[in-house]
Amino acid sequence: MTTSKPPLYTALSPALLHLYDVNHAIVVIIDVLRATSTIATALYNGAKCVIPVDCVAKCIELGRQIDGITAGERDGMIAEGLQHGNSPFEYSKEFVNGKTLVLTTTNGTKLLHMALDRGADRIITGSFPNLSAVCHYLTSQNQPVVLGCAAWKDRINLEDLLFCGAVIHQVKRQFSINCDSSQIAETVYLDAKKDLFEFIKGKNASHYHRLEGFGLEKDIRYCLTTDVADVLPVYENGKLIVI
């Protein structure tokens, strides 16, 4: 007797999210450089929760109301009026433990709100620092999955695709995958996995290029490191919390 496996799809850009039915699915929001890596890190280091908001004004206003840390970037730099940026290294245990982070980023928080508006059943965030937590969760739920890449202003990027490939490689036996984007992601991941950093550097990935220009090689290396902040951020009532 065979039991049917739930489907898994990969949306490589927010501009492709509408092609997939998220209503009964777990949507994994993926913004490897750097939003979802930073979310995992802040929560791993004891942040009470992360509240993703879609614009800087809302971030400032909410931060004031709840006495939270306001953080975020636009085009890779700390956004004007916010206290902190989007680097995981800003959110050490000493700094973030017990606090609430109000976060807005160029692509990641935007995608999360798109998934929400489209009626996603559940939303979690994924990054290499919490790869195993994501994979364990997905394989334990027996539910359809949509991997959603934040990309860069709707342009597909290499690092989000690589993370999808890493997830697919781990969970594929539990899912029915009839999705070329997923096959593409796994193929590239298998090619890259020996050394993800050297791979995206060698390919002159556009986001690598952008962040490396800001002196953020250390951030890139961290964001490509597996399981160093292995928690599962789940979106509930407007907040990302650890369950």
φ, ψ for residue 77, nearest 5 deg: -115, 155
Q: What's the rounded Cα separation, in Å, for the pair 36 and 127?
A: 6
Closest CB 202 distance from its own copies, rounded Å: 9
CB 122 within 8 A of CB 27: yes
For position 204 contacting its own copies by CB under 8 A, the verdict is yes
CB 52 within 8 A of CB 104: yes
* Stretch 171-200: interaction string toward its own copies, x if CB under 8 A: ------xxxxx-xx--xx--xx--------
Bridge partners (DSSP) listed for residue 234: 124, 241
For position 158 contacting its own copies by CB under 8 A, the verdict is yes
For position 154 contacting its own copies by CB under 8 A, the verdict is yes
Quick one: how many helices (H) and strands (E) in the chain?
Answer: 10, 10
**Tokens 């928690």 map to which residue?**
231
**Among residues 99 and 172, whose Cβ is nearest to its own copies?**
172
For position 142 contacting its own copies by CB under 8 A, the verdict is no
3-state secondary structure of 104: strand
Closest CB 200 distance from its own copies, rounded Å: 9
For position 55 contacting its own copies by CB under 8 A, the verdict is no
3-state secondary structure of 182: helix
Select the residue interacting with its own copies from 157, 216, 219, 223 (CB under 8 A).
157
Binding site for its own copies (CB under 8 A): 12-13, 15-16, 19, 153-158, 161, 177-181, 183-184, 187-188, 191-192, 203-207, 209
